[in-house]
Chains A and B, each alone.
Chain A
Amino acid sequence: MEIAQIATIASKEFWDRIRNRWVLAVALVFTAFALTIAYFGAAQQGSIGLRSIDVTIASLVSLVIYLIPLIALILGFDAIVGERERGSLDLLLSMPITRLELILGKFFGLAAALTFSTVAGFGLVAIMLSTQIDFNGLIHYFGFMLSSVLLGCAFLSLAVMLSVFASDRARASGLAIAMWFFFVLVFDLLLLGALVVTGGQWGGEIFPYLLLANPADVFRILNIFTLADVRTMYGLVTVFPPMLADPWLLGMVMVAWIVAPLGIATWRFRQ
């Protein structure tokens, strides 16, 4: 594997997204949402201004869990199928580059663009809030940004996998939307449904483990468990085995969610 080849592809993908202002647009969306939630999140209760940073993060989590997977899937769904459909893939593959290098280059370039927008967008808000929150709060906020980046990378990896399997862009975009629906909307409902139907008899014990089968849920657990305020609020401690709440373990699961789809994509691409 040659790093130079991966870097060439990655830098092209990254600068493409900088030049067409994709990075700027997404960063602004994140800034706007984060600011709105931080300052106006409590408007329902009749007050505006920053509340507890933990509560703000909890609100941001429920927003990001919808938004980032969607953005990542849109960003990556045509990574390979787009080149194939335009007709530029053959020329790329005639270069001294392996298919693994091409996939990794695409992934890292797009991941850099997504990471840059996420960090810039939410980071700007962190700077604005820095005078009003303590060091501990900042650490939590930083953890939230990091996990958002991981969440984005996991869905980006899934998107790149789709882009290898799909025969054309239209199908790839359909699959991307279906994937978003499944992981973000349907998955939890299915689990809950199974729990309720079986009256809690079935799945009660494996339920927490099943949550790991969805990167969006891993993201949620990762954030909620690091926040003392929120943990007590939801009473989650009683449901969730402490072993699974280890942020390092959850981080590793997230990394697995990034590596595995890329591995499958490479295997398929070589066929």
Chain B
Amino acid sequence: MELFLQFLHNTGYYLADYRYVLMIGIGIFFVTLAIAKNYEPLLLLPIGFGIIVGNIPFFKGFGLGIYENNSVLHYLYFGVRTGLYPSIVFLGLGAMTDFSSLLAWPKLMLLGAAAQMGIYFTLLSALALGFLPKEAASIAIIGGADGPTSIFLTAKLAPHLIGPIAIAAYSYMALIPIIQPPIIRLLTTKKERLIHMPEEQRKVSRKELLAFPVAAVILCCFLAPASIPLLGPFFFGNLMKVSGVVDRLAKTASSAIIDTATIFLGFTVGASTQADVFLTPKSVLIFCLGAVAFSLATASGVLFAKIMNLFLKDKINPMLGAAGVSAVPGSAREVHLLGQKEDPSNYLLMYGMACNASGVIGSAICAGILWSFNVG
């Protein structure tokens, strides 16, 4: 009988309290969003299930939890703590990205830069709220709307905040269809939303596509060497794709490799949200600041596009500024759908993807800049 009672005391049912139940509820919510609503399922499904697994209470000292040495989850979490998974994800992203729209319309790159302004506004807000500089920088990068970049920078500057920051970054990426449209509508007129982008696009030669990743990696990484772990693999992946001589490698990078990294990244980030570590007032503040960061990033992209239109002969649709955040391809798709809603013959997807690609580069540079500002 004593043995039975001892066993009962070690079960999750006995050890659970309201915090674990709440977190498991959040995990189920994420899984539901992924399956029922199809919101970023590639991310929310592994994260959601990871949250459920990470919040099953257990007897400490058995080497089971993600924060306990020698546990399996702890070893899998290594790729998050060291920034390994984000680098691998960037390799795959590069092998999947088509830069031809961006090369045909280089001015769209500025929208990717403008949308990063949300990061710096949020940096100031986080500092004002009492976060330490390294924590504030990690929170600010949520404004880049790039999950792997957020995880990478947080792993380097404030590893104790990886859980809330990663969950906030991925949640807001999944909530693009809810967050971005009202901001875009608020900041643009109907006339502006009806602006058509040219259907004919300059033909980009293969040589241009080949020269771009080489030129870009040199230019960006010389400017912000701390972004090498992200931009190095990113442009390498792209060079593999456009070179056409290593199709097998490019296909593996854009399928098996990125998929494996995404599975482990999502699952372990989810599992890192153990209620006793995750449920703190700081996490709530991070979620609020994340929303501010994402909204400001969207707004700054749209406003910058409007400013550009003051000087451009061929106006650009200012909604494209919202695609300057690096949530690939969610924000480009959202901008395209909004454009279609206003005028079904308005096709913005290719241009949105160009802004998205620029946003990925921009947020990686910002991560490098913030890391170098706060190193040491």
**Real complex partners, A and B?**
no
B residues in contact (CB < 8 Å) with A: none
